[in-house]
Amino acid sequence: MKSIAILGSTGSVGTQTLEVIRENTPLFKAFMLTAYSNAYLLIEQAIEFVPQYAIICDETKYQQVKEALAHLPVKVLSGHEAIKETVTHPDIDIVLTAMVGFAGLEPTINAIKAGKDIALANKETLVVAGEMITALAKEHNVKILPVDSEHSAIFQCLVGEDYSKIEKIIITASGGPFRGKTTDFLAGVTREQALKHPNWVMGAKITIDSASLMNKGLEVIEAKWLFDLQADQIDVIVHPQSIVHSLVQFNDGSIKAQMGLPDMKLPIQYALTYPNRVKTSFKRFDFMEYPNLTFEKPDMDTFRNLKLAYEALNRGGNMPCIINAANEVVVAAFLKNETGFLAMSDVIETCMQKINYIKEPSLHDYLNTDKETRIFAQNLIQQMPLKAIQS
């Protein structure tokens, strides 16, 4: 039985991970559950799964969680520091990192240093500090097992293969809810429209990232570090049906693809059971239900975030950290109707131009870059004319 720490158990990936654990109780135990502020759901999960630890980041919710779980043998803690410390517990086998954004970086670093295998759903960790994270994983003999459906697909295609024979990888994108739309249309889209993803059920932040194609840009950067590739070896193609999850092309011209219905539980389970496969009750794909699988080139002029992500990847240093921090700020603002859809790219690009570039950043530099960028991006949003928000 594998003992699993789930960082972000109340989010979309976290709740689906608990579904996998529920269906495979002889294989997995939820050892540690964490939430940012959703105390109600964390309590509900802890009552069902009885982990050793339940940690709520929002310290104002600590007493509520502690009192609700007082009758159970569950240690209740609060704060980000508690997560960073507890993730190193010797009884943990795998840490599934599903915290949203930059917050997942330091707990992941601590887990790697403690020798824990990482099931990585928090792509921002590799986006921000990919070189540092992959070096640490190698030093501590830790596996980084991708949970993103696209990176899991590539990982599955590469089982038994020599990574040096990769010619390129092709990451698929659904195109989101605004595929094929013009900038005139995008200027007026609302939060509610952007949250209606055509294929996947995800959290709010990643759904907006999908609509703007920033999610795909972050995945491009993540893929560089997961699979030791150069930027020109990573292509993106729009595939509206979300059946082909990604592809690998080898130096002999052969292409492998991993396919299946869009269900996050499959890549989650594969990461937790690797190198084994475990039978599931998931619905099976039927070609007759999908007689037409289509592919098209992404529109990087309309959806500028993907182009900005490639620029950040090519520049390297702390530039991916800058776009990640700026993006987290603008997405949060868009979800609160404080900025417009197209204005998000404007803010990100300005941050890339104005924030101090560091070619070889340390962890301290990453933390400072993140903080500086967030302040700068927030100020830019506040200075925007009203028409940029309303248009």
Would the annotation count 283 as a binding residue?
Answer: no
Would the annotation count 379 as a binding residue?
Answer: no
Cα–chain center distance at 5: 17
Would the annotation count 362 as a binding residue?
Answer: no
* Helix, strand, coil in percent for the chain, rounding step 5: 50, 15, 35
Would the annotation count 10 as a binding residue?
Answer: yes
Q: Are 208 and 334 in contact (CB under 8 A)?
A: yes
Would the annotation count 339 as a binding residue?
Answer: no
Find all residues with CB under 8 Å of 135, minimum gap 6, and list them: none
Would the annotation count 340 as a binding residue?
Answer: no
Q: Are strands 244-250 and 166-173 parallel, antiparallel or unpaired?
A: antiparallel
Phi and psi for 22 in degrees, rounded to 5? -60, -35
Which of 88, 89, 80, 96 has the alpha carbon at shortest distance from 367? 80
Would the annotation count 203 as a binding residue?
Answer: yes
Would the annotation count 113 as a binding residue?
Answer: no
3-state SS assignment for residue 125? helix
Which of 331, 128, 336 has the alpha carbon at shortest distance from 212? 331
| Region at 160 (left for phi over 0; alpha for psi -120 to 50; beta for the rest) | left
Would the annotation count 38 as a binding residue?
Answer: yes
Would the annotation count 162 as a binding residue?
Answer: no
Residue 212: in which H helix or E strand, if any? helix 204-212
Would the annotation count 80 as a binding residue?
Answer: no
Would the annotation count 85 as a binding residue?
Answer: no
Kindly tell me the burial class for residue 288, based on how many C-beta atoms sit within 10 Å of its own C-beta (0-12, 13-18, 19 or more). exposed
Q: Say how far apart CA 324 and CA 233 lie, in whole Å.
A: 22
Would the annotation count 189 as a binding residue?
Answer: no
3-state SS assignment for residue 168? strand
Which residue has 């086998």 as its token pair? 93
Q: What does each C-alpha distance from 164 to 233, 250, 273, 384 come to in angstroms?
A: 12, 9, 25, 47
Would the annotation count 345 as a binding residue?
Answer: no
Would the annotation count 148 as a binding residue?
Answer: yes
Q: Say how far apart CA 137 and CA 32 lie, in whole Å.
A: 21
Residue 35: in which H helix or E strand, if any? strand 28-35
Q: Are 313 and 224 in contact (CB under 8 A)?
A: yes
Would the annotation count 246 as a binding residue?
Answer: no
Q: Which residues are annotated as a binding site for NADPH?
A: 10-13, 38, 122, 124, 203
Q: Which residues are annotated as a binding site?
A: 10-13, 38, 122-124, 148-150, 174, 197, 203, 210, 215-216, 219
Q: Which residues are annotated as a binding site for 1-deoxy-D-xylulose 5-phosphate?
A: 123, 149-150, 174, 197, 210, 215-216, 219
Q: Which residues are annotated as a binding site for Mn(2+)?
A: 148, 150, 219
